[in-house]
Amino acid sequence: MGPDPKVNMNFNLTWIFQVDGNFTYLVRLHFCELQMKKINQRVFDIFINNQTAQAQADVIAWTSAKAVPTYKDYAAYVTDGAGDEQLWVALHPSAAAKPEYYDSVLNGLEIFKMNDSVGNLAGPNSEPSALLAEAELSTEQPSFASESSRKVHMIGGAAGGVAAASVALAICAVAYRRKKGMTGDEFGGGGAGWLPLYEIKKATKNFDESLVIGVGGFGKVYKGTVDGGTKVAIKRSNPSSEQGVNEFQTEIEMLSKLRHRHLVSLIGFCEENGEMILVYDYMAHGTLREHLYKSNKPPLPWKQRLEICIGAARGLHYLHTGAKYTIIHRDVKTTNILLDEHWVAKVSDFGLSKTGPMVNQSHVSTMVKGSFGYLDPEYFRRQQLTEKSDVYSFGVVLFEALCARAALNPSLPREQVSLADWALQCQKRGVLADIIDPQLEGRIGRECMHKFAETAEMCLLDHGVDRPSMGNVLWNLEFALQLQESFESGKPISEEVADKAAAVGNGVGLAALSEMSEDTDGQSTVAVFSQLINPVGR
């Protein structure tokens, strides 16, 4: 429709089709909201042959996200008489809903002429089927159990046995229009769905405290069960938390548009009755931190710690280079690295994330946010954020994995309180081996230890410009893993690989690594490493 809401309210958006009389027609309307992002921005009524087929239709309410296609089915009986052999489809802005924009949208339309049970397209119209008679006349809320928005609505008489009816006639009309001034989403398609509060309460037994599996800055995390046994993690906001609506919205906007093997997946969200709730895939092995210290869980072997660090590095590298814009996580730490049932690392908690600087910018000026012990000191001093701030935080994570101690421990002597400062001092004095996890003593190859410690040290350099990119960090960790495998197997790496590793060093280019990492997880590290140092287009 037009840009003037007053004009729009005085007219219908109408299509008229010539059809045969005395038949029931299935009218399928296709929708894909490409402009709006929130519920009640564009709401309209749907009329078929001057009867209300759908009141207050809201595409975003049906799909829970922008750019998600859906369709709605309606049945209409057309009588045979003067002036009745036409099928009208009309849309009109809904005044009752008081939407933000008084407008209507339709992306496609199909009309199916219904036959009878013996396939006769000229047979009389039968009684309505039970399926159609019981169909709801209004939209339902999406749920865990069903993500489909394909609902059938009844208008007038409908042909029997619609569930098994065949298509005899299809008439398609496409109506695609875009309004100027409404920008698209920064990160593209995809989307997590809105979930009703009653289903979340059911999944958590009304937020039973015995199901709490963690507590963070946003609030408590519950283990829930849906769809007859599927496990999920449900994060419920704490009203007194420092993290609030902004972090909640950022998490949804970021995670609902990003998909990567090493990023946690957001299933859905709920904002109802003052509650802010996020629902994720369940991570069976919890956080990386709880497998390093302050728990009674068995210590992880060094090779597994390396693989987890590599997985997290892949996730961060994807954020920095694989999305449409650079995304800076801003809160990289061991409690935000989750482990699934296969020990695959997933970066989580995007509530503090920021879009990185544009091409012509060197940084983003913003208030300092993050976790003490992991904060980039340059960002803290200058309030200038770059992706190298994530690199610094990840360097702390690397030393945490090596030393199995907290990033900050006030109970220790002053010079040892900060793990980053203490590890760097020990590294410079050549005594880093004295502070590593005692469980790893004698189990780390000397060359692997050297490469890993060197990588962590580079991440913690004072000036961001001197730190390696996340891609280079990932490359070095892959090499460290190969050195560890060589140590454990007793088989030296080939001279060719060693020479190339020495030649490439920290300057290797990894522009395509984020895409490649999805395809290489199932290969040996030798195969992966050979691809990293011999990049071949594919």
- Evaluate if residue 428 carries a pLDDT over 90: yes
Q: Is the pLDDT of residue 518 over 60?
A: no
Buried/exposed 290-315: b ≥16 CB within 10 Å, e otherwise? bbbbeeeeebbebbebbbbbbbbbbb
Instruction: Work out the angle between the directed axes of helices 470-489 and 525-533 (0-180°, nearest 10).
Output: 140
If we measure between CA atoms, which residue out of 471, 334, 338, 441 comes closest to residue 396? 334
Give pLDDT, residue 81. 64
Tokens of 265: 């997946």
Q: How confident is the model at residue 212 (pLDDT cuts 50, 70, 90)?
A: very high
The answer on pLDDT for 131 being more than 70 is no
Q: What is the pLDDT of residue 294?
A: 85
Query: Is the pLDDT assigned to residue 270 strictly greater than 50?
Result: yes
pLDDT for res 413: 96
Report d(CA 266, CA 257) in Å as an integer. 9
Is the separation of the CB atoms in 23 and 114 below 8 Å?
yes
Nearest residue to 303 via CA among 311, 315, 295: 311
Q: Is 8 helix (H, G, I), strand (E, B) or coil?
A: helix
pLDDT at 503 > cutoff 60: no
**Whether the predicted pLDDT of 514 surpasses 70:** no
Question: What number of H helices and E strands is found in the chain?
Answer: 14, 20
521 included as an active-site residue: no
Instruction: Give yes or no for a contact between 513 and 256, defined as CB atoms under 8 angstroms apart.
Output: no
Kindly list the structural domains of the chain, giving each domain's residue range(s) and its CATH number in brackets, ordered by start: 5-164 (2.60.120), 193-281 (3.30.200.20), 289-357+367-470 (1.10.510.10)
Give CA–CA dist 371/357, Å, rounded: 22
Percent pLDDT > 70 in the chain is: 74
The predicted pLDDT at position 497 comes to 65
Confidence bin at 502 (pLDDT 50/70/90) = low
Of 49, 62, 59, 58, the residue nearest 14 (C-alpha): 49
**C-alpha–C-alpha distance, residues 53 and 106, integer Å:** 14
Q: Residue 71 above 80 pLDDT?
A: yes
Q: Rg of the chain's alpha carbons, rounded to an integer? A: 29
- Cα–Cα distance for residue pair 313/322, rounded to 1 Å: 13
154 in helix, strand or coil? Answer: strand
Average pLDDT of the chain to the nearest whole number:
79
For 445-467, write each residue's pLDDT tens digit. Answer: 999 999 999 999 999 999 999 99
Q: Supply the pLDDT for residue 368.
A: 87
Q: In angstroms, rounded to a whole number, what is the distance separating the alpha carbons of residues 35 and 180?
A: 10
pLDDT tens string 147-183: 433 333 333 333 333 333 333 333 333 333 323 332 3
Distance between CA 470 and CA 474 in Å, rounded? 6
DSSP state of 69: -
The pLDDT tens digits for 466-497 are 999 999 999 999 999 999 999 999 888 766 66
Active-site pick, 45, 103, 331, 349: 331
Can you tell me the distance from the alpha carbon of 392 to that of 459, in angstroms, rounded to the nearest whole number?
5
Per-residue pLDDT tens over the stretch 217-256: 788 999 998 877 889 999 998 876 656 777 888 888 888 7
The per-residue pLDDT for 258 is 84
pLDDT for position 194: 81
pLDDT of the residue at 82: 54
Which residues, listed in sequence order, are joined to residue 71 by a DSSP beta bridge? 30
pLDDT score at 530: 38
More confident: 239 or 290: 290
The one-letter amino acid code at 495 reads E
At 425, the pLDDT band (50, 70, 90 cuts) reads very high
pLDDT classification of 191: cutoffs 50, 70, 90: low
Query: Looking at residue 487, what is its pLDDT?
Result: 94
Distances (CA, A) of 443 to 300, 406, 437: 12, 21, 11
The answer for residues whose C-beta is within 8 angstroms of residue 513's C-beta and 6 or more apart is 314, 317, 321, 471, 474, 475, 532
Bind-site residues for ATP: 235
**pLDDT > 90 in the chain, percent:** 46
Provide the token pair at 290: 């709880």
Q: CA geometry: angle at 202 spanning 64 and 211, to 5°? A: 110
From the list 25, 78, 28, 85, the residue with the least C-alpha distance to 54 is 28
CA–CA gap between residue 528 and residue 314 (Å, rounded): 13
pLDDT value of position 441:
93
SS3 382: helix
**Model confidence pLDDT, tens digit, residues 320-378:** 998 778 899 999 999 999 999 999 999 999 888 888 776 566 677 788 888 999 999 99
**Residue 254 identity:** M
Section 45-68 average pLDDT:
89
Residue 510 banded pLDDT, cuts 50, 70, 90? very low
d(CA 217, CA 275): 16
Tell me the one-letter amino acid at 311: G
- Main-chain phi, psi angles of 271, to 5 degrees: -130, 90
User: Residue 21: what pLDDT?
Assistant: 82
Q: CB of 153 within 8 A of CB of 74? A: yes
The pLDDT value recorded for residue 159 is 37
Q: Tell me which of 73-77, 162-166, 199-203, 324-328 is least confident.
A: 162-166
Average pLDDT over residues 24-45: 91
